[in-house]
Amino acid sequence: MNDKWDRPLAGITLILMLVAIYAIFIYAPVEKTLLEVQKIFYVHVGTAWNAFLAFFVVFVASVAYLRTREARWDRLGSASAEIGVMFTTLVLITGPIWARSSWNMWWTWEPRLTTTLILWFIYVAYLLIRATAGDERRGILAAVFGIIGFVDVPIVYLSVQWWGSHPIVLGSSGGGLPASMLTALILSVLAFTALYLYLLRKNLGIQAVEEELKQLKEELRQEYD
């Protein structure tokens, strides 16, 4: 993979992160009911949005792989799933920290939290399938799992509207956000999206080297056989 974009992308990500931190802690006001602890919301939503984006990419790559059987789609799905699991882990860590400080509890089995935990297990299973399945079946198995697993993403998103109980900060029924908080949120989402793209490129580069190594070893093996 051509790495001429790695440094500029890393720079853009860093700048966006610094701007987002400024917007979150200095530009956006302290929320009147939840006070400072509401600041967790920006990182929580930023990572959640990117987990959804990462799993959407897994879904698209899985469909494309099943249609074309081209290895580049398989690699894209694998790389995106790993980053998606990383972001979902962060959602599952920052969520309970926010819940503990705002509602005096770490965890409750309400629909949004439960479906998010299921989402995490689905994509950890996806990564385990990739790690354990044989070479010839791995791509197909992972792609099928990547498509079926994505069903949980809209369920996580809509669980609040279907079953309630999770706080809604954005949306028609949640009262919305003041402009300054919305700006901080958008900047946070943009910064984490840039981070996602950077990590995705990095991961794809690693997979390309892995593929090259595998091919080289295979050629050597055939030569000696």
Partner 1 sequence: MEYVWAAYSVTWIFIFAYTLVLGRRQARLLRELAALREAIGKESAG
Task: Please identify, using beta-carbon distances, which residue of 67 and 100 lies nearer to partner 1.
Answer: 100
Query: Smallest gap, in angstroms, from Cβ of residue 38 to partner 1?
Result: 9
Give the three-state DSSP class for 31: strand
Transcribe 98-113 into DSSP letters. HHHHHHS-S----HHH
Of 44 and 112, CB closest to partner 1 = 44
Q: CB 216 → partner 1: shortest distance, Å?
A: 6
Q: How far is the CB of 219 from partner 1 (least distance, A)?
A: 9
Q: Which is nearer to partner 1, 118 or 220 (CB)?
A: 220
DSSP state of 26: I
Place of tokens 């996806």: 126
Give 154: exposed, middle or buried? Use CB within 10 Å, 0-12, 13-18, 19+. exposed
Chain contacts with partner 1 (rule: CB under 8 A): 36-37, 39-40, 43-44, 47, 86, 89-90, 93-94, 97-98, 100-101, 195, 199, 202-203, 205-206, 209-210, 212-213, 216-217, 220
Q: Which residues of 135-149 are buried (b: 16+ CB within 10 A; e: fewer)?
A: eeebbebbbebbbeb
Nearer Cβ to partner 1 (159/203): 203
Provide the minimum distance between the beta carbon of 69 and partner 1 in the complex, in angstroms, as a whole number: 25
Min. distance of Cβ 127 from partner 1 in angstroms? 14
Q: Which is nearer to partner 1, 65 or 192 (CB)?
A: 192
Long-range contacts of 165-170 (CB under 8 A, 24+ apart): 165/110, 165/111, 165/112, 166/110, 166/111, 166/112, 166/113, 169/41, 169/45, 170/45
